[in-house]
Amino acid sequence: MTTLRDVAERAGVSVSVVSAVLNGSKHVRTSTAVRERVLRIVDEMQYVPNHAARSLRLAKSGLVAGVIPQLGIPVYAEMLRGIQDAAEATGYVLILTEANRILPESNLLRKLVGEGRVDGLLLRSPHTFEVDMKSAKRQYSVVQLDHGTTAADRGGVQLNHRRGARVATDYLIGLGHERIAFVGGTTGYFADDERRVGFREALANAGHDVREEWICPVGFAPKDGYEAALSLLGGAQRPTAMLVSNSTTATGVLGAAADAGIRVPEELSVIGYHDIEAADFTRPALTTLKMPFYELGYAGQSALAAMIDGGARVDEVVDDPAPRVIVRGSTAASP
């Protein structure tokens, strides 16, 4: 079996140089000619890295698990892409499961970490799953994504949702809107709570009243947005704009406006929090707030890999690139 050392000897370079070329590392300087020679020899010798042997040597499985509320939710697509890219860059294989499948009687997390099947967990869920550390056959690390305050033994990577909501609300205020509603999300969950704080701050800073009856934490589904919007649009005085906590929920808001005979954007502006591919294909096309979800996923997996390798616990806020409004057809000047 061809080894890394065999490749290095034939290429006339050190083992570390071959490793750096294969892993795409930027920490070891190599010329283009050396890189091409190494890759050519790897191909000629049909060298395949033995990750299994490495895992045994380091007492690691080489696997990490991501726990996501629902894998089919469009807003998670960019985050998952970031996690997968970082997992590939750090030499891990990612497995995914849905939070709603983790029931007390299933013992799924206990099987994953207690039996040493994964080296670490990425948790992106409003729920905090507790795993009995004493039963684990191996040490494992946990990084929580967008949870707010994290336990002392866990890493945490968050988005600045308060800032995001301010940016979206300020955009609507800049269009002349004063009667703005906030639709969607839940209470008691860090990201949603922070969005509502940012929404209130933006209105207060502009000197506009915050109408608590227009803040509707009804959930995330299109049906939730539809029902809340119908109720708001049927009032004696209706909002002229709505910031929706999730762009999937916003599709229900657009449907409610259409059924109520309210023209978007002439009579009602709608902006969805998080940019999704489907936003281009609603009618009108949905204006969205783009948050750095890809960067959140990448930073979370990078932090997890560092912790697995013995690094310090990470607690950071991903705020670059800054939140920005992607203007499409669902927003316009206040009527």
Residue 327 lies in a domain: no
User: Which of 238, 231, 227 has its CA nearest to residue 179?
Assistant: 238
Same domain, 39 and 68: no
Same domain, 90 and 196: no
Same domain, 116 and 187: no
User: Which of 99, 246, 73, 93 has its CA nearest to residue 164?
Assistant: 246
State the pairing for strand pair 180-183/141-145. Answer: unpaired
Question: Which CATH number characterizes residue 20's domain?
Answer: 1.10.260.40
Total number of domains constituting the chain: 3
User: Which of 321, 323, 183 has its CA nearest to residue 248?
Assistant: 183
Residue 81, exposed/middle/buried by CB under 10 A (0-12, 13-18, 19+)?
middle
- Decide: helix, strand or coil at residue 279: helix
Same domain, 150 and 182: no
Handedness of CA 150, 153, 154, 159 (dihedral sign): positive
Residue 116 lies in a domain: yes
Amino acid at 247: S
Same domain, 269 and 120: no
Same domain, 121 and 265: no
Q: Give the model's pLDDT for residue 192.
A: 92
Evaluate whether 68 touches 296 at the Cβ level (below 8 Å).
no
Same domain, 166 and 286: yes
Residue 9 lies in a domain: yes
Q: Give the model's pLDDT for residue 56.
A: 47
Average pLDDT along the chain, 335 residues, taken 10 residues at a time:
80 76 64 88 78 53 84 86 88 83 61 70 68 50 81 83 98 98 92 96 96 94 96 94 96 97 98 95 97 92 85 84 97 97
Which residues span the domain enclosing 228? 161-291
Q: Which residues contact 133 (CB under 8 A, 6 or more apart)?
A: none
What's the maximum distance between 2 C-alpha atoms anywhere in the chain? Answer: 81
Q: Give the model's pLDDT for residue 133.
A: 44
pLDDT tens track for 240-276:
999 999 999 999 999 999 999 999 999 999 999 999 9
Same domain, 172 and 147: no
Residue 56 lies in a domain: no
CB count in 10 Å sphere of residue 287: 26
Q: Give the model's pLDDT for residue 8.
A: 84
Q: Give the model's pLDDT for residue 114.
A: 58
* pTM as predicted: 0.78
Same domain, 208 and 285: yes
Q: Give the model's pLDDT for residue 7.
A: 86
Q: Residue 122 pairs with which residues in a beta bridge?
A: 66, 143
Instruction: Find the DSSP H helices in the chain.
Output: 4-11, 15-23, 32-45, 51-57, 77-89, 108-109, 161-174, 190-205, 222-233, 247-260, 293-308
Same domain, 128 and 171: no
Same domain, 176 and 263: yes
Residue 44 lies in a domain: yes
Question: Which CATH number characterizes residue 139's domain?
Answer: 3.40.50.2300
Same domain, 86 and 200: no
- Average pLDDT along the chain: 85
Residue reference for tokens 């591919």: 277
Residue 67 lies in a domain: yes
